[in-house]
Amino acid sequence: MAIQIMSEPPPEPAEVAKRIHAAIEDAMETTALRVTAISPGHFEIDVVSPVFEGLRRVEQQQRVYAAIQPLMAGDAAPVHAIDRMTTRTS
């Protein structure tokens, strides 16, 4: 078992939810977007976007994951899991 020493405390879940929200809005046009912090590192995302038109569900979700990928990268990533993601066009 490895010991990890963190120089700063992890960010508050509500702050991370705001960062997820901003990352998705920066990456695509949305008509509705809700990000809910479930617990530290775990979130639910609901996105409505015309960008999803004609895309399969997995492709829609891939667009969202691409937008938040920097928040999921590395050992000390603030996002560990998206527990539920809903994507739709309307």
Show me where the domains of the chain are located: 13-88
Strands 42-48 and 32-39: antiparallel
Distance CA 1, CA 49 (A): 43
Return the pLDDT at 6: 58
Predicted confidence (pLDDT) at residue 75 exceeds the cutoff of 90: no
Predicted confidence (pLDDT) at residue 8 exceeds the cutoff of 80: no
Return the pLDDT at 42: 97
For 13-88, the fitting CATH number among 3.40.50.970, 3.30.300.90, 3.30.70.1290, 3.20.20.70 is 3.30.300.90
Contact 48, 33 (CB under 8 A): yes
- Cα distances (Å, whole numbers) of residue 61 to 12, 40, 57, 84, 86: 25, 21, 6, 11, 8
pLDDT tens-place string over residues 9-65: 778 999 999 999 999 999 999 999 999 999 999 999 999 999 999 999 999 999 999
Q: What is the pTM for the complete model shown?
A: 0.88
